[in-house]
Amino acid sequence: MSFKTLLAYQKGFELAMEVFQVSKDFPSHEQFALTSLVVRSSRAVCSAIAEAYRKRQYIKHFRSKLSDADSENSETQLWIDFALACKYIDQEKAIELENKSKEIGKLINYMINNPERFGSK
């Protein structure tokens, strides 16, 4: 099995790509600020899930990496809030992205609370 088969990874990847597409419309002066921050944090969710999967034989490492993924997911929500407040995205898009992020958070937390289902011992 591959980390790519994990639903949390798949949904995280989809959200990261959607965030990337949306961020293309942010003003150019945000390129090294909000744009890079929201893209980085959304991608880091997937990265941490992949790392967690490879560390799954060690339950504490598995949970630690998943905790990192959860933190990055929360950070992504923060940057979405800033994008809305700055009027770079509308309320509807912000809610859509936030709901997807919340779903990913639930999947990550399920993995944290059920490590044995993912090969941890």
The domains found in the chain, sorted by start residue, are 3-113 (1.20.1440.60)
Rounded CA gap, 61 and 4, in Å?
Answer: 19
Q: Check if the beta carbon of residue 33 is closer than 8 Å to that of residue 79.
A: no
Percent of the chain with pLDDT over 70: 100
Residue 48 has pLDDT above 80, yes or no: yes
- pTM of the predicted model, to two decimals? 0.95
Residue 31 has pLDDT above 80, yes or no: yes
In this predicted structure, what is the pLDDT of residue 17?
98
Question: In terms of Cα–Cα distance, which of 81, 53, 49 is closest to 68?
Answer: 49
